[in-house]
C-alpha cells in the first residue's frame, strides 16, 4: 500500500514504543504511519522540566541508535531530542496533532478513523501509554485552577504553601524540588510512611527533610475537600486544614479504557483491567490489532515502560513481516525500573 493515506501498519501513539514499532516495521520493508493526538513523544513533553530519567541511556534507546548524553541518567530534554532525531533519521511518517477516534474493518483492510482523515491499513498497533488520564481523587474542589495533576517546575511557587498529594517518586521529587526553590511543601500521604519503592537515592533525602521539619508530611491522611486557599484533610487525629496556594495531586494515571473499547479491545476484570492480548504475540482479541508498551499493563502502569516495552516493537514487527518471532523471554520480563 503506497498512496498517502494507505499503509501496511498504522501505529497509534508517537511515544518511545510507538516510534520503535514504526521503525522496526519499516526496516522489514512494510510501510508505516505513526499517529499522535499531540506532539512527538507527547507524554515526555508533559514530564517535569529537566526531569532525570531513572534509566541509564542505553536502556531508553530504540532501533540501536545511541543516546548521547553528558549525564549518567538522561534528562527529559535529552530524551526528547533523541526520539526526535531517531524519527527523522529513520524517516518515519508522522501525523501529529491527529487523534484516532475509531477503527473499522478487519485484519488486512482496516480503516483508521481520525479527527482529520480516514486511513487504510492492514494492521494496527496501539501504543497509547497511560499519561493522559489522571487517577482523580474525586473530592470537591479538585477542578479548581490552582490544582494540577501534572507537576512541571517549582519556580512559580516561591514563598507559597504547596500541598502535594501522593508519595511515589514523582511526588517525592516534586516536594524536594519545591523546598529547594523556596516554596513550603507539605506531603499528604495515604499510607503510614514514604513507601520503600521510592528510589533509594531519593527516599533518604525526603525522609531526612521531613524529620528536619522542612517538608511537612501528614501520614494515614487523605484530602476530603480543596478550597481556593486550603486542603481539608482527614487525619487519624481528626480533620485538619492545610494552607495551600497550589495543590499537586500526583496520584498516578491510567490508560484510556473507553478508547480501547472503541477499538474493540476487551479489558479484564482484574484490578489492572488488563487489555486483552496474547502475551506471546501481543495481538488483541481483535485480529490484526496489536498492543505495545505501557498500555499492555492496564492500570498496572509500572509493568511495562520504555526499558522493556521497546522490545514489543521487534516482536510485533517480525510477526507482521512473516519472520520468525524472536524469543525474548528475559527482556520481556518485568524488570526493576532503572536498576
Ligand atoms: C515522571 C516519569 C518518569 C519515567 N521514567 C522512566 C524511566 O526512567 N525509564 C523508563 O523505562 N520509563 C520511565 N517512565 C515510563 C515511561 O515514560 C513510559 O512507560 C513510556 O512513555 C511509555 O511509552 P509508550 O510509547 O508506551 O507511551 P507514551 O510515551 O505515553 O506514548 C503514548 C502516546 O500515545 C498518544 N495517544 C494516546 N491516545 C491517542 C489517540 N487516541 N490518538 C492518537 N494518539 C494518542 C499520546 O499522545 C502519547 O504521545 C517514566 C514515566 C514518568 C511519568
Segment 225-270, tens digit of pLDDT: 999 999 999 999 999 999 999 999 999 999 999 999 999 999 999 9
- Of the pLDDT bands very low, low, confident and very high (cuts 50, 70, 90), residue 336 is very low
Distance of CA 51 from the midpoint of ligand 1 (Å): 14
Residues having CB within 6 Å of any atom of ligand 1:
12-18, 35-38, 42-43, 47, 51, 53-55, 99-100, 127-129, 131-132, 170, 256, 259, 293-294, 305-307, 309, 337-338
Q: What is the mean pLDDT of residues 110-126?
A: 98
Percent of the chain with pLDDT over 90: 93
Please give the span between the terminal C-alpha atoms of the chain, in angstroms, as a whole number.
Answer: 42
Distance between Cα 151 and ligand 1 center (Å): 16
Residue ranges and CATH numbers for the domains of the chain are 2-133+253-332 (3.50.50.60), 147-249 (3.50.50.60)
Q: Predicted confidence band at 4 (pLDDT cuts at 50, 70, 90)?
A: confident
Whole-number mean pLDDT of the chain?
A: 95
Distance CA(298)–CA(134), nearest Å, equals 13
> Which residue's CA is the nearest one to ligand 1's atom 3?
53
* Strand positions, DSSP E, 244-293: 246-249, 253-254, 289-291
Give the chain's largest Cα–Cα span: 67
DSSP-H helix ranges across the chain: 16-27, 42-46, 76-89, 169-180, 203-212, 257-262, 306-309, 311-320
Report the nearest atom of ligand 1 relative to the CA of 41.
49
Residue whose CA lies nearest to ligand 1 atom number 49:
42
327 against 83, higher pLDDT? 83
Distance (angstroms) between ligand 1 centre and the Cα of 294 equals: 7
Q: What is the pLDDT of residue 325?
A: 83
Residue nearest to atom 30 of ligand 1 (CA): 129
Beta bridge partners of 246: 162
Which has the higher per-residue pLDDT, 81 or 336?
81
CA dihedral (102, 38, 21, 30) in degrees, to 10, reads 70
Residue with the nearest Cα to atom 15 of ligand 1? 305
Pocket test for ligand 1, best of 35, 43, 55, 298 (most atoms within 8 A of CB): 43
Task: Give the helix/strand (H/E) hosting 243.
Answer: strand 238-243
Residues 43-61: tens digit of each pLDDT: 999 999 999 999 999 999 9
Choosing from 11, 14, 15 the residue with most ligand 1 atoms within 8 A of its CB, the one to mutate for a pocket test is 15
- pLDDT of the residue at 332: 52
For ligand 1, atom 4, which residue shows the shortest CA distance?
Answer: 53
- Which ligand 1 atom is the nearest neighbour of the CA of 16? 25
Cβ-based neighbours of 140, under 8 Å, separated by 6 or more: 225, 226
Q: Which atom of ligand 1 is nearest to the CA of 259?
A: 41
Beta bridge pairs of residue 243: 230
What spacing in Å lies between the alpha carbon of 80 and ligand 1's midpoint? 12
Distance in Å, CA 199 to ligand 1 centroid: 20
Amino acid at each position: 500500500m503506497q498512496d498517502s493515506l494507505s499503509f501496511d501498519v498504522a501505529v497509534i501513539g508517537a511515544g518511545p514504543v510507538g516510534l520503535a514499532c514504526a521503525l522496526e516495521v519499516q526496516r522489514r520493508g512494510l510501510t508505516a504511519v505513526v499517529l499522535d493526538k499531540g506532539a512527538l513523544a507527547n507524554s515526555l513533553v508533559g514530564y517535569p522540566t529537566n526531569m532525570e530519567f531513572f534509566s541509564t541511556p542505553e536502556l531508553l534507546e530504540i532501533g540501536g541508535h545511541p543516546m548521547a548524553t553528558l549525564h549518567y541518567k538522561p534528562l527529559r530534554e535529552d530524551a526528547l531530542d533523541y526520539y526526535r532525531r531517531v524519527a527523522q533519521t529513520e524517516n518515519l511518517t508522522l501525523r501529529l496533532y491527529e487523534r484516532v477516534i475509531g477503527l473499522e474493518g478487519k485484519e488486512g483492510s482496516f480503516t483508521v478513523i481520525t479527527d482529520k482523515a480516514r486511513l487504510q491499513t492492514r494492521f494496527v498497533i496501539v501504543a497509547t501509554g497511560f499519561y493522559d488520564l489522571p487517577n482523580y481523587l474525586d473530592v470537591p474542589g479538585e477542578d479548581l485552577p490552582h490544582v494540577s495533576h501534572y507537576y512541571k517546575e517549582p519556580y512559580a511557587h516561591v514563598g507559597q504553601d504547596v500541598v502535594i498529594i501522593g508519595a511515589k517518586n514523582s511526588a517525592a521529587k516534586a516536594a524536594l524540588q519545591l523546598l529547594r526553590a523556596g516554596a513550603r511543601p507539605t506531603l499528604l500521604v495515604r499510607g503510614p510512611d514514604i513507601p520503600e519503592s521510592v528510589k533509594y537515592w531519593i527516599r533518604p533525602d525526603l525522609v531526612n527533610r521531613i524529620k528536619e521539619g522542612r517538608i511537612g508530611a501528614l501520614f494515614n491522611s487523605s484530602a476530603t475537600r480543596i478550597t481556593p486557599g486550603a486542603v481539608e484533610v482527614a487525619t487519624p487525629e481528626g480533620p485538619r486544614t492545610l494552607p495551600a496556594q497550589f495543590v499537586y495531586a500526583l496520584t498516578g494515571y491510567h490508560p484510556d479504557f473507553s478508547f480501547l473499547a472503541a477499538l474493540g479491545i476487551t479489558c479484564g476484570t482484574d484490578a489492572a483491567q488488563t487489555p486483552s492480548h496474547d502475551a506471546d504475540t501481543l495481538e488483541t482479541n481483535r485480529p490484526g490489532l496489536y498492543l505495545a508498551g505501557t498500555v499492555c499493563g492496564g492500570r498496572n502502569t509500572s509493568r511495562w515502560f520504555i526499558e522493556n516495552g521497546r522490545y514489543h516493537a521487534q516482536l510485533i514487527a517480525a510477526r507482521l513481516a512473516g519472520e520468525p518471532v524472536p524469543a525474548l523471554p528475559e527482556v520481556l520480563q518485568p524488570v526493576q525500573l532503572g536498576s
